[in-house]
Each structure stands twice: as C-alpha cells, then as structure tokens.
Amino acid sequence: MDRLSGTDRQTRAVELDEPNSTMSDNQQCVHNEGKELFMTEGVKTIIYPVTDLAQARTLYSTLLGVQPHTDEAHYVGFNVDGQDVGLDPHGHRKGMTGPLSYWHVSEIKESLQSLLDAGAHLQQEVKDVGGGKLIASVKDVDGNIIGLIQPA
C-alpha cells in the first residue's frame, strides 16, 4: 500500500482524474487490477458485544481512563485519542462472537463492492446506524469478519 504525503497527494489526485481531491495523512491507497482505490483510513473503531452493559461500561471506563461520549441503552461509546471503542448489548444476538474491528472508508458502497469482487462474502449490507454513519461487513474465505464504516 502507498502512503503519500504533501505534494504527492495532490499529484496522485490529479493522476486519478480527481483534480479537487487529496488524500488525508491517514488514508491508504489500495491497488486493484491496476486501478487505485482510496479505501481505508485504518482501523479506528472496535465494537465489543456485551451481555451486561452496566458492568461493561464500568470496566471499559476504567480500562480506557475516560467516560463514554455516548451512553444509551443500545450502545455505549468511548473515544481515546481518535480510537473509538463501542459496547453493543445486542451484539451476540447479531452473531458477534468477539470484538469487531471497523476499517474507516470514504466510500462504503465502492469499498464493499471491491471486497465482494475480491472474494469476500457479504455479512451485513450497508446500514445507517444514525446520524448518517454507515456500516457494512463481509467475511473473508477463513470466516474472519471485516467491518467497514463510513463516518457521517
């Protein structure tokens, strides 16, 4: 994967026929059959399925050293230096068997299709989880779940 900085981002954007776009310092450039796709800014979100939300809130508050920024009956979310950590009390019912990492992407539908074209199997269609934030997931050939998230 390429990591570009400064002027190289502007040059690459022009090469890709996107004259007004640039890559963020965190964004990864992925090559697929000679075509460059700007797919990910890295793993910035991890969701844990929990059965006792109150106990998990206390535990993760202690672990992370911060209080949640979102504290609802359906989700508790923390942010530590740009890393989002979420607690999902319905995760087990959704089939989660452990933590799920989400790769941040700028175009979730294109990224999802690229993974499907590369042999992944659809786990969850694109879904708006509130405020315009979109998520989706696929399974690789070994059954590992890959989460995608497009921030609002």
List per-residue pLDDT tens for the chain, 152 residues long: 344 333 333 323 333 344 344 444 544 455 555 555 546 788 999 999 999 999 999 999 999 999 999 999 999 999 999 999 999 999 999 888 899 999 999 999 999 999 999 999 999 999 999 999 999 999 999 899 999 999 99
- Cα–Cα distances in angstroms (integers) from residue 30 to residues 15, 76, 82, 148, in the given order: 15, 32, 22, 15
Predicted pLDDT of residue 16: 38
Torsion angle in degrees (nearest 10) through CA of 5, 105, 80, 53: -170
Helical ranges in the chain per DSSP H:
7-15, 53-64, 108-117
What is the rounded distance in angstroms from the CA atom of residue 107 to the CA atom of residue 118? 17
pTM for the complete prediction? 0.72
Question: How is the chain split into domains, by residue range?
Answer: 1-39
